[in-house]
């Protein structure tokens, strides 16, 4: 019972936030909406018993992504003149909205075909940090290490791009 209500609320939040991201005129509004989306996602992770992911999502999703995005928006500091002139419901958007539907349907059907009709019962250790660690440093050790290299490369890349050219 509780799960249902919570899920519904979180879903609502999520939906409004996602619409806000895509349909806002100013980037700042999009960032705030995205913040809402990220929080909702974290909540949904929690309701699905993934406690560690819930924390990670908040730490990284909000603490890193949203913050950095907000900083970037602030750095660029556009006023209304600098915004691109675009209407809310332009033709490309309508076309996209229509053509993306079949893909979405396909995606939904294929995903749903792998699952059952309801969630099975799990014990308390499901989704706990121990369970995550056990799999992460066991089966998924290699991808984990590669991810660290990826992060290193990303760091170096970001620095290289953002630096000003000095003669």
Partner 1 sequence: MSESTILPIVAVLPLLSALVMGSLHISGSLRGERFYALVGTIVPVLSAIVSIFPIYSVLSSGRALDSHLYEWVSIGDFTIDISLRLDPLSAVMLFIVTFVGSVIHIYAVGYMRGDDGFGRFFSYFNLFLGSMLLLILASNPILMFVGWELVGLSSYLLIGYYYDSEGSIEAANKAFVLNRVGDFGLMSGIALLFVSTQTDRFSFVDIAGGLGSVDSATLALIGGLLFVGAIGKSAQIPLFVWLPDAMAGPTPVSALIHAATMVTAGVYMVARFSFLYEEIPYIGEIIAYTGGVSALLAALFASYQTDIKKILAYSTMSQLGYMFIGAGVGAYSTALFHLLTHAFFKALLFMGAGAVIILFHHRQNIFEMGGVARRRADIAIPMLVGGLAISGIPPFAGFFSKDAILVHTFASGHYLLWGIAMVGAFLTAYYIFRLYFVVFTASGDDTGEESLAEIPSTMIWTLYILAIGTVVVGFAGVPEAFGGDFVIGDLLSLPDRVVAISHTLEWTLTLMGLCVSVCGIALAYLIFVRKSIKERNGEAIYAQPLYEALYIDRLYRTVFVDGLRRVSGWCAKVVDDTLIDGAIMAVVRGYGRAGDVMAGLQNGSVGRYAIYMLTAISLASLYILNRTGN
Partner 2 sequence: MIWNPHFFTALAVFLIYIGIVGLAGRKNLFVIYLSLELMLNGINLAFVTLSRARPDMDPAVIALLMVGVIAAEAAIFLAMIVHLFGLKRSVNSDDFRELADGRSR
CA proximity to 62, closest of 40, 27, 30, 35:
35
Among 2, 5, 76, 103, binds partner 1 (CB under 8 A): 103
Nearer to partner 2, 120 or 166 (CB): 120
102 binds partner 1 (CB under 8 A): yes
Smallest distance from partner 1 to CB 56, Å: 30
| Tokens linked to 23 | 């349909």
Residues 124-163 within binding reach of partner 2 (CB under 8 A): 126-127, 131-132, 134-136, 139-140, 143-144, 147, 150-151, 153-155, 157-159, 161-162
Smallest distance from partner 2 to CB 25, Å: 9
Contacts of 165 (CB under 8 A, 6+ apart): none
Residues 104-123 within binding reach of partner 1 (CB under 8 A): 105-106, 109
Among 13, 16, 21, 36, binds partner 2 (CB under 8 A): 21
How would DSSP label each residue in 3-64?
HHHHHHHHHHHHHHHHHHHHH-SSHHHHHHHHHHHHHHHHHHHHHTT-HHHHHHIIIIIIII
Assess contact for 131 and 125: CB atoms under 8 A: yes
Phi, psi angle pair for 114, to nearest 5°: -90, -10
Smallest distance from partner 1 to CB 136, Å: 33
Which residues form the interface with partner 1 (CB under 8 A)?
A: 92, 95-96, 99-103, 105-106, 109
């Amino acid at each position: 019972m509780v799960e249902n209500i919570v899920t519904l609320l979180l879903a609502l939040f999520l939906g409004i936030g996602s619409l806000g991201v895509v349909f806002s005129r100013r980037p700042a509004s999009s960032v705030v909406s995205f913040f809402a989306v990220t929080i909702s996602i974290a909540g949904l992770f929690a309701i699905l018993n993934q406690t560690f992911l819930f924390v990670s999502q908040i730490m990284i999703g909000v603490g890193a992504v949203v913050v950095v995005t907000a900083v970037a928006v602030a750095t660029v500091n556009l006023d209304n003149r600098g915004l691109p002139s675009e209407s809310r419901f332009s033709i490309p958007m309508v076309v996209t909205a229509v053509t993306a539907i079949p893909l979405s349907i396909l995606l939904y059907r294929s995903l749903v075909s792998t699952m059952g009709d309801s969630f099975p019962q799990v014990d308390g250790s499901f989704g706990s940090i121990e369970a995550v660690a056990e799999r992460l440093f066991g089966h998924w050790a290699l991808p984990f290490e590669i991810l660290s290299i990826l992060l290193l490369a990303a760091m170096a890349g970001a620095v290289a791009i953002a630096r000003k050219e000095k003669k």
